[in-house]
């Protein structure tokens, strides 16, 4: 079975309704499950997810953040993986930053996908277009988009 790494923006859009990309996130996750792919996140994705959800809920943040996190973690067969634990591998993050013009966190997402041999990636960002253009990773075929 193939795995599909979920970017934080897909996770956030999935649990926030209303959100401009909510329907697209739901459709993306349905597509991943229909293909029998295992949805995958990392602790860095969860960190980013918690930060944004907590920020968006303001004074009601703790209860709502727990609820949204529980909703995310209830995605069928969701798996949590880590990047390489090897100290020497951490330096390679800078190579990925330079090669693909990524932010460090995005480079860690890429490293996590490479370490865990994850070929598919669901994101709403264009930050990874250079990575996919170079065919380093094979992107997930996007489901039909909702009308603008």
Q: Tell me if 145 is assigned to some domain.
A: no
Q: Is the pLDDT of residue 83 over 60?
A: yes
Report, as an integer, the average pLDDT of 77-86.
96
Q: Tell me if 70 is assigned to some domain.
A: yes
Q: Tell me if 16 is assigned to some domain.
A: yes
| 68 or 131, which is more confident | 68
Q: Tell me if 29 is assigned to some domain.
A: yes
Handedness of CA 117, 122, 127, 132 (dihedral sign): positive
Spatial distance between the Cα atoms of 119 and 33, rounded to a whole number of angstroms: 15
Q: Is the pLDDT of residue 144 over 70?
A: no
Residue 80's contacts (CB-CB under 8 Å, 6 or more residues apart) are 40, 41, 42, 43, 46
Report the domain count for the chain: 1
Half-sphere exposure at residue 1, Cβ-oriented, CA atoms within 13 angstroms: 14
What pLDDT digit, counting tens, does each position of 16-62 carry?
A: 999 999 999 999 999 999 999 999 999 999 999 999 999 988 777 78
Question: What is the CATH number for 101?
Answer: 3.40.50.1010
pLDDT of residue 146: 45
Contact 38, 4 (CB under 8 A): yes
β-pair type (38-41, 3-6): parallel
pLDDT of residue 143: 46
Contact 143, 31 (CB under 8 A): yes
Q: Tell me if 142 is assigned to some domain.
A: no
Q: Is the pLDDT of residue 147 over 90?
A: no
Q: Tell me if 44 is assigned to some domain.
A: yes
What pLDDT digit, counting tens, does each position of 111-141 carry?
A: 999 999 998 999 888 888 788 775 444 555 4
- In eight-state DSSP terms, residue 147 is P
Q: Tell me if 64 is assigned to some domain.
A: yes
Report, as an integer, the average pLDDT of 5-12.
96
C-alpha 93: how far from chain center: 17
Spatial distance between the Cα atoms of 29 and 74, rounded to a whole number of angstroms: 12
Q: Is the pLDDT of residue 6 over 90?
A: yes
Domain, as residue range, for 47? 3-133
Q: Tell me if 140 is assigned to some domain.
A: no
């Amino acid at each position: 079975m193939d795995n599909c790494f979920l970017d934080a923006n897909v996770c956030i859009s999935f649990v926030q309704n209303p959100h401009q990309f909510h329907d697209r996130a739901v459709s993306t996750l349905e597509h991943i499950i229909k293909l029998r792919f295992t949805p995958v996140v990392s602790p860095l994705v969860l960190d980013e997810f918690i930060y944004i959800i907590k920020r968006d809920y303001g004074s009601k943040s703790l209860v709502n953040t727990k609820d949204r996190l529980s909703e995310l973690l209830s995605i069928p067969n969701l798996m949590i993986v880590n990047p390489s634990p090897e100290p020497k591998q951490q330096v390679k993050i800078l190579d990925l930053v330079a090669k693909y013009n990524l932010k460090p966190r995005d480079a860690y997402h890429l490293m996590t996908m490479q370490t865990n041999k994850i070929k598919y990636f669901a994101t709403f960002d264009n930050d990874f277009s250079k990575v996919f253009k170079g065919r380093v990773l094979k992107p997930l075929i996007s489901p039909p988009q909702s009308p603008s």
